[in-house]
Structure 1
């Protein structure tokens, strides 16, 4: 397995934790490699490695203890001054297909990233956003659900 393939697999596992969608569901969007490549280009190799390495270390340290994992993940990734804003932009990316520029405070502290700007990754990213299955709907103007489905309100699926 080459380094990029391994990093994409780590990125997928991180994305599972961030979105609460399964590997199968995330791969089913067809966006995994495109999102990995986009985020890599935006945050750079050093920040990507730090994010994935921190995530892996937490997994190694906590094993199958989900409570311990969640506690460490919140402290060392989501609440981290550097990694937190990156992961929050990554969550938004998966749900709406848009990368949101890191906050000015992040840029002031860690430096401006040349490719960091708010933009829709691709036309398919909008259509494949996790927002749509989360709310039990479809992306307006794309992936129409079929004739007459508009006659009933959307149903929000039960959370397992």
Structure 2
């Protein structure tokens, strides 16, 4: 992206780039209705420079870029996983026994902090501000918009409907699955 481009041009470049890394067409991505929300989330969380750098990176090396991984996950599941979380899952933290020894423990960094500020003094959100942070300062994963779950590319990729959100249609139960 160039410095003098408008927000609309930046959004179009973001969608074009996203089509490349997700494997879905620009038409499909625009059709989710989430393009603007996803672009704003990525910029709010990582800053415009990090997004510009990710979009202009070598297409053959994008899978190694943690910001790109976060963008891909965002399109597929509608959840922002910060770059520090996009490439790994701490299985041990989720499978460790809880206090009773019988149930999995919830990691300490999964609880939102109290009293966090959403806007900076200038009225503009700073990168990563306005969302819960773990004990080590990482932004915790969050759902980007009310429609993000139902519009996730995951459902199209597996040929399914999001549970409880988009029914396959009246009487569809009468026919065997495709």
Provide TM-score, normalisation by structure 2. 0.63
Give the whole-Å Cα distance in 1 for the aligned partners of 2:7 and 2:80: 21
Question: 2:22 aligned to 19, 40, 56, which one?
Answer: 19
**1:15 Cα deviation after fit:** 0.5
How many positions carry a matched residue from both structures?
A: 127
**1:117 Cα deviation after fit:** 2.8
Say whether 1:86 aligns with 2:86.
no
RMSD over aligned Cα atoms: 2.4
Instruction: Please give the secondary structure, in 2, of the residue aligned with 1:123.
Output: coil
> 1:144 maps to which residue?
167
Q: Greater helix percent: which structure? A: 1
**1:150 Cα deviation after fit:** 3.9
Question: 2:154 aligned to 121, 131, 147, which one?
Answer: 131
Say whether 1:114 aligns with 2:99.
no
> 2:106 maps to which residue?
none
Instruction: Please give the secondary structure, in 1, of the residue aligned with 2:29.
Output: helix
Give the whole-Å Cα distance in 1 for the aligned partners of 2:173 and 2:71: 31
> 2:39 maps to which residue?
36
**1:74 Cα deviation after fit:** 2.5
Report if aligned partners of 2:63, 2:69 keep a CA contact under 8 Å in 1.
yes
Instruction: Please give the secondary structure, in 2, of the residue aligned with 1:142.
Output: coil
Pair 125,74 (structure 1): closer, same or farther in 2 beyond 3 Å: same
Report if aligned partners of 1:7, 1:52 keep a CA contact under 8 Å in 2.
no
Q: Unaligned stretches of 5+ in structure 1?
A: 59-72, 107-112, 156-160
